[in-house]
Structure formats: structure tokens, C-alpha cells
Amino acid sequence: MKDCPFITPNGQKIDVALWLNDLPYESILLVTHQPFSHQFVDYLVDQPLPINFAMTTGTLASVEGELFAGACCQFRWCFSPS
């Protein structure tokens, strides 16, 4: 587990994307807060998010790609406990 001091509501999406690209893992679970979480998923994906998508408390979203950067990933699924 690694801490990232710039995953905050005022964080910069590009800083987080660069940090994720430097990690040596095949799969990463990123835990953060609103509004950053929704903004970051929206930044990464190459298509508009589903109309019913919302990053509410406890929501998991799956994003897949070879490179973490703007519009370079695909939205796979989301799960919300509500």
C-alpha cells in the first residue's frame, strides 16, 4: 500500500496519472474522495461516462488501459452499494 498526498479534492489529475504510471503493478485500487474520484475517472476514460454513473460513497469503478492519461483508458464497470 502506498500513500499519495496529492489524491485530494484539490488534486491535479495529471499528477496522479503520472504517479500511477510509475507504479510496478498490473492492477491498482485507488481510494480517494469526492469530487476528485469522479473527475479522475472522467479524465481517464476515452468515452462519455454512462448517464447513470455516479461516484457515491463506497462506489467502485473499473478503468482499464495501458497508460494512465487523459482519454487513454476504457470504462469497464461500476458497482455502488446504494
Residue 43's closest CA among 59, 67, 78, 60? 67
6-64 residue pLDDT tens: 888 888 999 999 999 999 999 999 998 888 999 999 999 999 999 999 999 999 999 99
Strand intervals (E) in the chain:
60-64, 74-79
pLDDT tens for each residue of 49-60? 999 999 999 999
For residue 26 the three cell numbers come to 498490473
pLDDT band (50, 70, 90) for residue 1 = low
DSSP 71: T
User: What pTM was estimated for this model as a whole?
Assistant: 0.90
